[in-house]
Amino acid sequence: MVAIPFRIPRPRLGRLVLALLVLALVAVSIVRFGGYADARQGYAVPHDGQLEATLGIRFTQAAVVGDGGLVELRYVVLDTQKASAFQNDTKHPPRLRNERSGKLAWRAALMKQGHELRPGQSYYLLYLNNGGAIKRGDKIEITSGQRRLAHVPVR
Amino acid sequence: MLRLDRGRWKRLSAVPLVAAIVAVLVVPGPSQSAASPPAGLECLTAGDNAFDLTATGGYAAMPDGNTIYMWSYAAGGGAFQLPGPTLCVTAGVKVTVVLHNSLPEPTSITFPGQVQVLADGQPAQPETDAAGTLTSLTTTAAANTGSVTYTFTAGPPGTYLYQSGTDAQKQLQMGLYGALVVRPAGHPERENDRADSAFDPDREYLYLLGEIDPDLHLAVERKRAYDFTRYKARYFTINGRSMPDTIAPNHADWLPAQPYGALIHIRPYDPVGNPKPALIRYLNAGSVSYPFHPHGSDEQLIARDGRPAQGPGGQDLSYSSFLIDVAPGQTVDTLMIWKDAEHWDPQGNPIPVPLPSLQDQIVGPGPETWFAENPYLGGEPGELPPGVVQNNQCGEYYHVAHSHALEQATNYGASFGGMMTLIRIDPPAGCPA
Q: Model confidence at B280, in pLDDT bands (50, 70, 90)?
A: very high
The parent domain of residue B75 ranges over 43-194
- Residue to test with chain A: of B64, B406, B412, most A Cβ within 10 A: B64
Among residues B207, B203, B243, B236, the alpha carbon closest in space to that of B421 is found at: B243
Give the three-state DSSP class for B16: helix
B112 within 8 A of B161, measured Cβ to Cβ: yes
Task: Report which DSSP code applies to B139.
Answer: P
> CB–CB of A63 and B10 under 8 A?
no
Mean pLDDT over the full length of chain A: 83
Q: Which residues pair with B418 in a beta bridge?
A: B243
Residue B353: predicted pLDDT? 74
Is B57 within a domain?
A: yes
> Domain limits at A56?
49-153
Q: Is residue A20 in some structural domain?
A: no
**3 state SS for chain A:** CCCCCCCCCCHHHHHHHHHHHHHHHHHHHHHHHCCCCCCCCCCCCCCCHHHHHHHCEEEEEEEEEHHHCEEEEEEEECCHHHHHHHHHCCCCCCEEEECCCCCEECCEEECCCCCCCCCCCEEEEEEECHHHCCCCCCEEEEEECCEEEEEEEEC
| CB interface of B with A, residues 133-152, below 8 Å | none
Out of A6, A15, A124, the one facing B244 most closely (by C-beta) is A124
* Interface confidence (ipTM) of the complex: 0.84
Residue A108: per-residue pLDDT: 78
Give the side-chain half-sphere CA count within 13 A for B269: 16
- What angle is formed at CA B282 by the lines to CA B105 and CA B72, rounded to 5 degrees? 20
Q: ∠ CA(B97), CA(B157), CA(B259), 5° rounding?
A: 55
Helix (H) or strand (E) holding B150: strand B147-153
CA quadruple B116, B118, B123, B128: dihedral positive or negative?
negative
| pLDDT tens-digit map of B72-125 | 999 988 899 999 999 999 999 999 999 999 999 999 999 999 999 999 999 999
Give the separation between CA A139 and CA A153, rounded to whole angstroms.
4
Residue from the list B8, B392, B424 with its beta carbon closest to the beta carbon of A130: B392
Task: Indicate the number of domains in chain A.
Answer: 1
Q: CATH number of the domain that B66 lies in?
A: 2.60.40.420
Confidence of residue A15 (pLDDT cuts 50, 70, 90): confident
Residue B10: pLDDT above 90?
no
DSSP, res B357? P
Q: What is the dihedral of CA B305, B311, B313, B314, to 10 degrees?
A: -50
* Interface contact A136-B34, CB threshold 8 A: yes
A70-94 exposure pattern, b = at least 16 Cβ within 10 A, e = fewer: bbbbbbbbebeebbbebbebbeebb
Partner A, chain B 32-61, Cβ-Cβ below 8 Å: 34-36, 38-39
pLDDT of residue B364: 42
Task: Give the best-scoring range by mean pLDDT among B297-301, B351-355, B388-392.
Answer: B297-301
Identify whether A119 is part of a domain: yes
- In angstroms, the separation between the Cα of residue B186 and the nearest Cα of chain A is 31
Interface test with B, best of A29, A76, A110 (most B CBs within 10 A): A110
Distance from CA of A95 to the nearest CA of B (A): 11
Among B299, B388, B294, CA closest to B336 = B299
Confidence (pLDDT) at B111: 98
How many residue contacts between A and B have a Cβ separation below 8 Å? Answer: 183
CATH of the domain at A113: 2.60.40
What is the C-alpha separation between B17 and B34, in angstroms, rounded? 26
Distance from CA of B178 to the nearest CA of A (A): 24
**Percent above pLDDT 90 for chain B:** 73
Residue B55 within any structural domain of the chain: yes
Could you tell me if residue A18 is inside a domain?
Answer: no
Residue B163 lies in a domain: yes
Residues of A in contact with B248 (CB under 8 A): 63, 65, 72
Q: Which of B9, B12, B24, B36 to mutate to test the interface with A (most CBs of A within 10 A)?
A: B24
% of chain A exceeding 70 in pLDDT: 77
Q: What distance in Å separates the CA atoms of residue A130 and residue B289, rounded to the nearest whole number? A: 38
**In terms of Cα–Cα distance, which of B70, B63, B66, B59 is closest to B417?**
B63
DSSP 3-state assignment of B88? strand
Instruction: Return the amino acid letter for A73.
Output: L
pLDDT number for residue B34: 35
Residue that wins the pLDDT comparison between B299 and B4: B299
pLDDT digits (tens, 9 = 90+) for B243-267: 999 999 999 999 999 999 999 999 9
Number of domains in chain B: 1
Cα–Cα distance, A142 to B109 (Å, whole number): 48
Residue B36 has pLDDT above 50, yes or no: no
Which of A91, A99, A107 has the highest number of chain B CBs within 10 A, making it the mutation to test binding with B? A107
Is A68 part of a structural domain of the chain? Answer: yes
Maximum CA pair distance of chain A? 83
Average pLDDT over residues A124-131: 88
For chain A, the straight-line distance linking the first and the last C-alpha, in angstroms and rounded, comes to 54
**pLDDT at A34 (0 to 100):** 46
Q: How close does chain A come to B214, measured CA to CA in Å?
A: 15
Give tens-digit pLDDT for B285-342. Answer: 999 999 999 987 899 999 999 999 999 999 999 999 999 999 999 999 999 999 888 8
Residue partners of A12: CB distance under 8 A and separation at least 6: none
Residue B74: its H or E element: strand B67-75
Contacts of A76 in chain B (CB under 8 A): 65
Instruction: Please give the average per-residue pLDDT across B213-217, as a whole number.
Output: 98
- Whether B23 has a pLDDT exceeding 50, the answer reads yes
User: Over 50: is that where the pLDDT of A36 sits?
Assistant: no
Q: What is the pTM of this model?
A: 0.84
